Amino acid sequence: MATAFKVLMVCMGNICRSPTAEAVLRAQLERAGLSGDVQVSSAGTHAYHLGRPADERSAVHALARGIDLSAHRARQISDADFAEMDLVLVMDWDNLALAQAACPSVHQHKVRRLMEFARRCPDTVVPDPYQGGAAGFEQVLDLVQDACEGLVAHVQRLKSNSD
């Protein structure tokens, strides 16, 4: 990989799932020695929470696992994201449909579900914990951590094939 591989995590409002996935992936890339090879960011399909920090419940549950979301500020996905990113990874089927509808046809191959990279969890989506309790935020972390491990392995394969 001569230039940095770019990954965008996408959920609805960019305050729960996608910032969690962004921070989890960054931490795993750091542990794998790949943080300089991959740029990670996140966005939402909707403009509900622009400029707001991560949901407090997401931040508390993530911090309990050593993942810091304090620097996050929500933003909405842009047309430029589809051109600039190598992967646009969505959390659920609704996010997938919205991202695909907004994405130019030439970049459709970049839009995928994060859970396609999961190694242990059979779940196909990362469910929205926003209306639920603590268990939902813990489930998000479990699913995201599994999928990000698979994503790191994917990046390692890409890197070894390009070296």
Q: What is the pLDDT of residues 31-67, one digit of tens each?
A: 999 999 999 999 999 999 999 999 999 999 999 999 9
| 26 carries an active-site annotation | no
Find the CATH number of the domain harbouring 129.
3.40.50.2300
Q: What share of the chain is helix, strand, coil (3-state, %, to 5)?
A: 50, 15, 40
Collect all residues with Cβ–Cβ distance below 8 Å to 98 and sequence separation of at least 6. Answer: 45
pLDDT for 2 equals 55
Please count the structural domains in the chain: 1
Mean pLDDT of 107-135: 96
The amino acid that residue 123 corresponds to is D
Full residue range of the structural domain in which residue 61 is found: 5-162
| 73 carries an active-site annotation | no
Catalytic residue (choose from 11, 16, 103, 148): 11
Catalytic residue (choose from 81, 128, 146, 148): 128
Catalytic residue (choose from 17, 57, 75, 113): 17
pLDDT for 132 equals 87
Instruction: Please say if the pLDDT value at position 1 is more than 70.
Output: no
| 11 carries an active-site annotation | yes
Count the alpha carbons within 13 Å of 139 in the hemisphere toward its beta carbon.
Answer: 14
Strand partners, 102: none
pTM of the shown model: 0.96
